[in-house]
């Protein structure tokens, strides 16, 4: 498990399905308490990082200018499906 928070772990698993890690920067609001999972959900922002670049990304710490050379800054936007499950869409703005 990458994140201790189950919702953050869910978002990371969705990113891993695309071959990348989700590295959280901050919460972006639109908060929701999911009655099915018990998760505290909100839109998030962060980076989608190729698995091969993870160590380099972590070592750069706060050098966001350099991070942009190999990681996409994105928003992870949640949506509730008809069946009540949560869907994450990664959007680059």
Domain that holds residue 61: 6-91
Q: Measured on CA atoms in the order 7, 43, 17, 60, is the torsion positive or negative?
A: negative
**Residue 91 phi, psi dihedral angles, 5° rounding:** -125, 130
**pLDDT greater at residue 29 or residue 72:** 29
pLDDT at 65: 60
Global confidence as pTM: 0.86
Residues 24-54 have pLDDT tens digits of: 999 999 999 998 899 999 999 998 998 888 8
Instruction: Give CA–CA dist 90/83, Å, rounded.
Output: 21
Question: Does residue 69 lie in a domain region?
Answer: yes
Question: Does residue 81 lie in a domain region?
Answer: yes
Question: Does residue 1 lie in a domain region?
Answer: no
How many domains are there within the chain? 1
pLDDT at 31: 95
DSSP lists the bridge partners of residue 73 as: 47
């Amino acid at each position: 498990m990458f994140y201790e928070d189950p919702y953050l772990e869910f978002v990371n698993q969705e990113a891993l399905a695309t071959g990348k890690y989700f590295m959280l920067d901050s919460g972006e609001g639109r908060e929701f308490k999911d009655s099915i999972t018990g998760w505290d959900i909100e839109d998030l922002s962060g980076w989608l990082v190729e698995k091969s670049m993870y160590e380099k990304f972590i070592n750069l710490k706060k050098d966001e200018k350099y991070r942009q050379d190999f990681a996409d800054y994105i928003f992870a936007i949640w949506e509730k499906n008809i069946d009540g499950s949560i869907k994450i869409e990664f959007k680059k703005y």
